[in-house]
Amino acid sequence: MPSARVPAVLEERDGELGAAQRALATALSGRGQLIVAEGGIGAGKSALLAAVAGVGAAAGMQVSRAQATRLERDFGGAVLRALLYPLVTAVPAANAAGWLAGAASAAAPLFGDDPSVLAAVSRLRYDPDVGYGLRLLVRRICAQRPLLLVVDDLQRADLLSLAFLADLVACREEMPVAVAVAVQYETSAVEAEPVDEIVQAADVVLRPAPLSERAVADILRAAGRDPAEAPGLHRASRGNPLVLRSLVGTGGHPSGCPSPLRERLVQAFDALADEVRAYARALVLLPSGAGPATVAAVAGLDEVQSRFARRRLDRLGLLRAGLRGYAQVVVEDAMSPAELDEFHRRAAEALDAAGHPIDEVADECMAVSGAPPACAARVLPAAGRAALRAHDPRRAVRYLRRALIDCTDDGAERARLLARLAEAELRTDPVAAIRHVGRAARLMPDVRSRAAILSRLTPIALTGADDLFGLIDAAARALPATRESLPVDRELALRLEARRRFRDLDDGDALRDTLGRWAGYGALPPLDTEAERELVAVLLYAATLTVRTSGAQVAGLACRLLEQLPYRPLLAHTPAPLAVACALAAGETTDVADWLSTALLPGGRRPPDDVLLALIGRATLHWLRGNLAECRRDLLRATRLARGAGATLDPTGAIGLVSTALKVGDRRILDRVAEVWPDPTTATRPHLRLLAQTLRAALALDRGPTSTEWDDWEQCLAELERLGWRNPALLPVGSWSARALVTAGRSRRARQLMEREYDRATWWGCPIPIGRSLRILGRLTEGPAGVELLAQSVDVLTDAGNDAELARTLVEYGVRLRAAGRPDAPERLVRGMRLARRAGADRVADRAAALLGEPGRAGSPLTAAELKVARLSAGGSSNRQIAELLGVTRRAVEKNLTNCYRKLGVPGRAMLAGKLAELFPAVEPADDEALG
C-alpha cells in the first residue's frame, strides 16, 4: 500500500491545551509563566508544543521557536540565539539598537554576523553581565508586545542557553513572557541537572496520555483510511502518537521499525549515557519477564547504576509496550554480530542462573551464532522435551537440531539427541524421524541402548521403515524375553517383538507364526506394562484380520486395551488405532464412541495423522450404527486428509478407509479413496499395494469389468487368501463382488465366495457380517430356500443396530414375498423404506417407494438431486455442509433448495421437513450418541 501523508497527531489534548491557554492568559496579564510538556518518545510533545504556540499567536503574543539538537550542543548560545535573533532582526535597526543599548550591549555579540566573534562567543560560558543584558533585552522586547518563547527537546540545549532560560524563568513574574518547553529525559545525571532546574520551576506541566481507540479511528478518517482498522492499530501502537503515525504512514504493516520512528529512537539511543544505553540494550533484547537484577547482570551494572538507568528509561518511555518491540529492532541493527553474540551468550547464562523458563534460556542460546553458552548443552535438550510436552513439535525440532550442531560427542550423547529429535519429528517429518532413529541406534555402544532407541518408534510408526528392521531383528535376537531376563530387558524384548510382528502382517508365513504366538497367550493376556499392551494390540489385530478368535473375545480385549490407552497426541504412534480397529470389527460401538469423542474434541491441536485415523474410525462407527449420511461426511473429510499420504498410511487406517468406503458403496467416495493411491505400483508396503489393487478391481466390478479386470480381481482374492486376511467384517470380498459376478453370468463363483464368507462371519460371530452374508445368499438362492435365508437375515439384523443393512434386507425380503404373493410383503417394504430414509440409504428407500407406489425418485415432483438436497437440509445440514458432502458448489445447493420450495409449495427450510415427512413417512429417529 502506498505511504499516506499523515498529519501531526493532536487528538484528545483539550485538557492540556486548556491548561496552556490559562497559563498564557496569566502571562498576558503581566505575570510570566513556564509551561513544561513531559513525556517519553513519541508521546506527542512536539505536536502539543506547536499547538501551544498557535494559541499564543492567536492571543496576540510574539512567538519565537527553537529546536535544540545534539549537533549544536557544543555551540554556546545556539538555542537562545535561535529564539532572540529573529526578534532582533525583525525590527528596524534603530529599534534593535535601542534594545541592545546600555547594559544590554553585553549580549550584543550573540546577535552579530561576524564569524570570528560568533566563534569566540560560542566558547564562552554564562557570564553575569551577559545574563543581565539578555534579561534586559527580553524585558524591552516584552514592553512592545507580550512574548512566547518555545523550545523543543530542551534536554539537548547547550549550557549557555540553559543558563539563560533558568535565569529568565527565575524572574519571569516581572514581565509578560511565557516560556514553553518540551523535555524528554535521555541524558546522564550530570547533564540533566540544568534541565531539572528549569523543569522543577514549572507553573504548568503537560503530560500527554496515550490515545484512545476512538482517537485512532478519527486519525484514520483524517488520513483517508478505514476506521475499522483502529482496534488493530491501537493495539500495535499502545496509543503512542508517533508509533501510530508511523504505522498509518506505512499502511499499517511496517517491516521492522518504520520512519520517522526509527530516526527518533536512534537519536534517543545515541544520546543515552553509556550505563543507561547498556541497560536499555539488555532491557529490550531480554524476554519481557526478565527482572531488574537479571537485566543489570547482563548490562554489567551495579544496583545503583541500574536503578538510575531504569528511571531514565521509564521517563523516556522505552519501558512501555508500544515502543519496546521497535526499540529492539533499532538496538539489534546498531550492534555488530560479535556484540550481539556476546550479548546473547551473557543473557543465556544470566537467565539460566535466575531460574527463568527453559524456553527463554534456550531462545538466547539459539541466538548465539558462534561458540554456544556453557549452559546450552543442558538447556537445549531440556527445552526440546518441554516443547514436546506442550505439543509444540516444531519448536522442539529447532532446539534439538541446534543441540546436535553444538554437540561434539560422536557416541551415546549424540545418539540420545538424535532419538529425542526423532520423537519430535514424528509429528512433522516422519521420514526424517525414521532416519534419525537408525543413526542413533548405530551410535549406541550396547544392545540394550540400541533396543531402547529402536523402541521409541511404535509398530505403526515403523510402517515402511524396512532399513531399520535389520537392527530390530539383531537386537531382538540378543534380548530374548525369558523368565530369567531382567525386567528392563524383558520390556525391551516385548517392544521389539511387537514391531517385528506388526511388520509381518503382510507376510503370510510370518503371520502364521504370529498367530501361534497369539494362541499361546490365552484368553486373558497381561496388559500391565506398555510393552505388554503394544504386543497384545498387534497380536489381537493379527487375530482379527485372520478370524483366529471370535468377535466377542476380540471386543472384550479391545475394550480392556482402550481403557488403558487414553487419547494422547500422536495417536498414529500408539497401539490405540489397533485396539479401535479390532473393537469396530467386532461390532463394539459404545466404548469406541466414547474414545473417539475424546480424540476428536474441538478446540485442541490435533496432528493431521491423528485426525485422519480418528475420522476413519468414526466413519466406520457411523456405518455400524446405520448412519450413512454422517459416515459419508467423515469419509470425505478423511479422503481429503489422506490424499497424498497413501504411500505411508498404516494398515489399520488403509484397511478401515477402503473397507468402509466399499461398504457404503458411494461411487464418488470410492473415486476419492482411489485417489489416495494414484498408482498401486508406487506403494511401499505389500498391504498398501494390495488394497490399492483391490479398490481398483472393485471399482471395475461396479461398472462391468473386462476379462483382464476379472483376472486382476481374482488375483487380489488369491493374495488375500495367501496372507490369511479373511475377516468379512474388515474385508467382505464376496459381498463386494456378488452382484458383478451374477451380472457376468458367474453365479456359481458368487455363491462360492458368499458361502465362504458366511462361514467365516459365523465363526467371527458378529451379526452385521452374518446378516449381510445371509441376505446376499438369499438373493442368489431361488424359491422358498432363498426366502428363508432372507428371513434369517432379518432376524439376525433386527437387533444389530444397523438400520441401513436391515433396510436392505427388508426391502429384498419384501420383493421376494411380493413375488410369492404373500400379503405381508407391503409391511416389509414399508418398514424397509422408513429405515432406509432414516439411515440415508436413498436408493434403497426409493426402490421400496416405487414398489409401494409412493413418491420416490421416480414419483416425486423433485429431481434426484433436489430430493437429496432437500433431505439433507431437512435433517439440519447447512448449505455449506451439503455442498461439501455432495461435492457441489453452495450456489448449486441454493438453486436446488429454491426449486424444492417452489415444487413442494413451502415458503422455506422451516416447513421443508414436515412436507417431506408427508411424502416419505418415517418412524421417530433413534437417540444416537453425538461424537463431538
| 3-state DSSP assignment of residue 930 | coil
Mean pLDDT of 599-627: 78
Q: What is the DSSP letter of 107?
A: G
Q: Return the residue matching grid coordinates 478391481.
A: 697
What is the pLDDT at residue 325? 67
Q: Give me the count of residues in the chain.
A: 932
Average pLDDT score over residue span 248-275: 66
Instruction: Give the pLDDT band of residue 647 (cuts 50, 70, 90).
Output: very low
Tell whether the model's pLDDT for residue 905 goes beyond 50: yes
Select the highest-mean-pLDDT range: 367-371, 540-544, 663-667, 911-915. 540-544
Q: What is the pLDDT of residue 921?
A: 46
What pLDDT band is residue 925 in, cutting at 50, 70 and 90? very low
599, 610 Cβ separation under 8 angstroms: yes
- pLDDT at residue number 464: 66
Query: Tell me: the pLDDT tens digits for 170-195?
Result: 888 889 999 999 988 655 444 567 88
Helix (DSSP H) and strand (DSSP E) numbers for the chain: 47, 5
User: What pLDDT is stored for residue 476 in this prediction?
Assistant: 86
Of 228-237, 260-269, 918-927, give the lowest mean pLDDT range.
Answer: 918-927
* Helix 261-271, helix 241-249: angle, nearest 10: 140
* Amino acid at position 130, single letter: V
Quick one: pLDDT at residue 765? 92
Write out the DSSP string of 483-552.
TTS-HHHHHHHHHHHHHHHHHGGG-HHHHHHHHHHHHTT-SS---SSHHHHHHHHHHHHHHHHHT-S-HH
Q: How confident is the model at residue 131 (pLDDT cuts 50, 70, 90)?
A: confident
More confident residue, 480 or 135: 135
The per-residue pLDDT for 609 is 73
In this structure, what C-alpha cell is assigned to residue 709?
479386470
And the C-alpha cell for 98? Answer: 535601542
* Amino acid 253: pLDDT: 45
The torsion region of residue 42 among left (phi > 0), alpha (psi -120 to 50) and beta comes to: left
pLDDT 10s digits, 710-764: 887 788 888 888 888 889 998 888 888 887 788 778 889 989 999 999 999 999 9
Which pTM was predicted? Answer: 0.63
Rounded percentage of the chain residues whose pLDDT exceeds 90: 24
Q: pLDDT digits over 140-167, tens only?
A: 999 889 999 999 988 888 888 888 899 8
Q: How confident is the model at residue 929 (pLDDT cuts 50, 70, 90)?
A: very low
Alpha carbons within 13 angstroms on the beta-carbon side of residue 654 total 29
| Whole-number average pLDDT of the chain | 82
- DSSP conformational letter for 372: P
Q: Is residue 260 reached through a cis peptide bond, with omega within 30 degrees of 0 on the bond before it?
A: yes
Specify whether the CB–CB gap between 415 and 444 falls below 8 A: yes
The pLDDT of residue 190 is 46
Percent of the chain with pLDDT over 70: 86
Could you give the CA distance from residue 832 to residue 841 in angstroms, rounded to a whole number? Answer: 10
The angle at the Cα of 861, spanning 860 to 865, to the nearest 5 degrees, equals 80
pLDDT in tens, 4-29: 343 445 678 888 899 999 999 999 99
Arithmetic mean of pLDDT, 348-370: 90
Distance CA 840, CA 915 (A): 17
Angle between helices 321-334 and 261-271 (to 10 degrees): 70
Residue-wise DSSP of 267-324: HHHHHS-HHHHHHHHHHHHS-TT--HHHHHHHHT--HHHHHHHHHHHHHHTTTSHHHH
For the stretch 832-888, pLDDT in tens is 999 998 888 888 888 888 777 655 444 456 777 888 888 888 877 888 888 877 888
Q: Please count the other Cβ atoms lying within 10 Å of the Cβ belonging to residue 479.
A: 24
